Structure 1
């Protein structure tokens, strides 16, 4: 509609708004009362106005094209193949298989899957022969396969390479040349979020992580996958994904890499809880919304009971249906760039990108990501951020409903644990200190479980 219906109203400048707000505050200081600072050092104003707005560089979001992904851990081939086919009929649009055994019969695993289905392979090993097999199948089926290979992510998470620095990177370079029908490179950014890194750190570490591959892999002929965990700070998380894509494209251009990144997003585990577990559905819903609006290519939801139950049909169905509701009933797939022009989100995107770029430059000036990971600098910085967030949770300033706010004292969980929901102790010799994923509620939940045990013994 070209006709402006509000010409009779005089425009109100940001200065006029501030003057009115100051009047309503009755002498209280505007900055002290209404402006707060995020853990990333970003000052959040009570309103954003177009006369103070500077648009960020255009970010090609793909909200209208996002696909719903189903995670499947492969143990029994026949069951996994049947489950994959079933979930596709029930609304999933892509699949992500986690495979730990390099002797897995991939052709049998894919036997019931339609040829046009996008498939991600998250491998617990690095095998040139196995990836070549996937490449051959992709060529035969004209399939869209993303093989999530990330040796640096393996080092960061486990403390050891698959084999060694030289052999792992040599394997990547061999795969890059030999396997032209698959996407072969991935960066596990979710590790940093789940371990407690703030948003600026997450973006900067992801870019520095990517930069190591740009420097060490001679041929990158396909888009790089960014595996991202999305937290509960709704607008910040939208801006995080936008800033990540913006900076990735800036970095890639320096290496004449013309492909946009491919973002697969999943809700974080850091704020998920064992008690009052149904609240996890509310958390994952807003986190999936942030992922879609932020421009994720693929969203893989986290089941509400993923912390303590093995994979089960009910949990998977609820998680899948959350995304189906967002896509087909809430119309999240109708606009590609829904956040464009939103002053607050644009400002957050710009500030997060600027701060992350400054941190990225500092990492590169001090030897690069891999050097700082081996020296322990990255782990220390993440730990410092995680401790600050933990203190906010422990003092009640960061709230998880049902856990540190309005807990149900009659809630019992010790009888329902199929999985160990806490950080696992696995003493072993490692090359470096690994980045440890830890949930905010772990200590509180362990105390409650111990209390349950005491009560049952009495």
Structure 2
């Protein structure tokens, strides 16, 4: 078959730059470049020459679990809401527990083999993992393939259902850049693998690795961040000579969630969710737009679900695996994030690993958060409704609900208030 492109001359990057400067009347390629929060130079365009050899799709799944976040204060009421949400189209549940909950009540009628369920236990509920193990052993004896996970930040947590779990949502919500976030995840995972390797057969102990992290509105960076995460995790797992499945759960970030003109949060959440799906998340939680100010309403829960249904049923994002594979920019940014995070991870390990670097990691994240907030206060970055394009028709601005933002988390709208 004739090559349709053979009749066209190839254009080199230098020719593109010369044409750019001519059309923009002297504005240069370098002047259009910028430096992002990761200290990467973002160029105005990328070409085939920027691609690394052997670039290919990083994941093969196409669909994802549509999660609904449910705050559990009463197990019975939460169960009723969970069943209603499942009937309305969600395929997973993310329970945020405010205290010890009776799992037999909370999960009554919930068929765990067919959905994804994530639990975020209360900080002082130290026995939750044991209770969950006991429940699963009784209700689903011998079933080790359930998609049931615990969101935990501690590497001390013993595997539940042969799954290592990392709750990394706090890094983005504290203001960490993506390189630091990915390096911290690698450090946490390495700590867990190192401890377990000393006690027995890792391949037999670890069936799956579950990682939850937050995505924000920097679409291309967040998409690339999830792709880079798979590269880093698989590289680390290979060093231990094990091949567990990797399950990534993305949640929409709270860092840009605003109490001002709060319906605009739906736009931010749509962008964050789309980045998560295109980046290869296995499950996505979109927080209700009013999550920052009150117990979510029925309408806000429905909109949180519908955002994902639109991405699936209208945008058809569930038809193609790794849709951005081969993009010159995305592939370059994925490689930069993976390499930058791996370099920082090795530095953290040389300093003593997870436990030893916590204080230094906290200082680094605080510095990055301060720089992020300053960029909004100086007007270099825009949060619509907060520091630009304010809704003058909004006469009563609600307050943040108690507990939001979480301790050590930052919120741009709050910082600008």
State whether TM-score is above 0.5: yes
Q: 1:444 — aligned with what? A: 416
Is the Cα contact below 8 Å between 1:96 and 1:119 reproduced in 2? yes
CA–CA separation in structure 2 for the residues paired with 1:225 and 1:268? 18
Is the Cα contact below 8 Å between 1:327 and 1:333 reproduced in 2? yes
Q: Residue 148 in 1 paired to residue 150 in 2?
A: yes
Aligned partner of 1:35 among 33, 45, 53: 33
Aligned partner of 2:172 among 168, 186, 193: 193
TM-score, L = length of structure 2: 0.91
Segment drifting more, 224-233 vs 120-129: 120-129
Q: Any unmatched runs of 5+ in structure 2?
A: none
CA–CA separation in structure 2 for the residues paired with 1:149 and 1:30? 44
User: Is the partner of 1:107 in helix, strand or coil?
Assistant: helix
CA–CA separation in structure 2 for the residues paired with 1:270 and 1:352? 21
Q: 1:92 — aligned with what? A: 90
Aligned CA RMSD, in angstroms, stands at 2.2
Structure 1 residues 169-188: aligned runs within 5 Å = 169=156, 172-173=157-158, 176=159, 182-188=161-167
Return closer, same or farther for 1:235/1:18 CA change in 2, 3 Å cut-off. same
Q: 1:126 — aligned with what? A: 126
Q: Any unmatched runs of 5+ in structure 1?
A: 154-168, 425-434, 446-458
Q: Residue 296 in 1 paired to residue 281 in 2?
A: yes
Return closer, same or farther for 1:62/1:76 CA change in 2, 3 Å cut-off. farther
Return closer, same or farther for 1:393/1:5 CA change in 2, 3 Å cut-off. same
Q: 1:282 — aligned with what? A: 267
TM-score, L = length of structure 1: 0.83
User: Is the partner of 1:371 in helix, strand or coil?
Assistant: coil
CA–CA separation in structure 2 for the residues paired with 1:56 and 1:134? 46
Structure 1 residues 7-406: aligned runs within 5 Å = 7-31=6-30, 33-55=31-53, 58=56, 60-62=58-60, 64-102=62-100, 104-114=101-111, 115-124=113-122, 125-127=125-127, 129-137=130-138, 139-140=140-141, 142=143, 144-148=146-150, 150=152, 152=154, 169=156, 172-173=157-158, 176=159, 182-217=161-196, 218=199, 219=202, 220-373=205-358, 376-406=359-389
Q: Residue 419 in 1 paired to residue 401 in 2?
A: yes
How big is each residue's C-alpha offset from its partner over 1:327-372, in whole Å with a ceiling of 9 and x where there is no partner? Answer: 0111010001101101100000001111111111110111112211
User: How far apart are residue 63 of structure 1 and its match?
Assistant: 5.3
How big is each residue's C-alpha offset from its partner over 1:8-41, in whole Å with a ceiling of 9 and x where there is no partner? Answer: 322222222122223334444431x111111111
User: How far apart are residue 76 of structure 1 and its match?
Assistant: 1.8
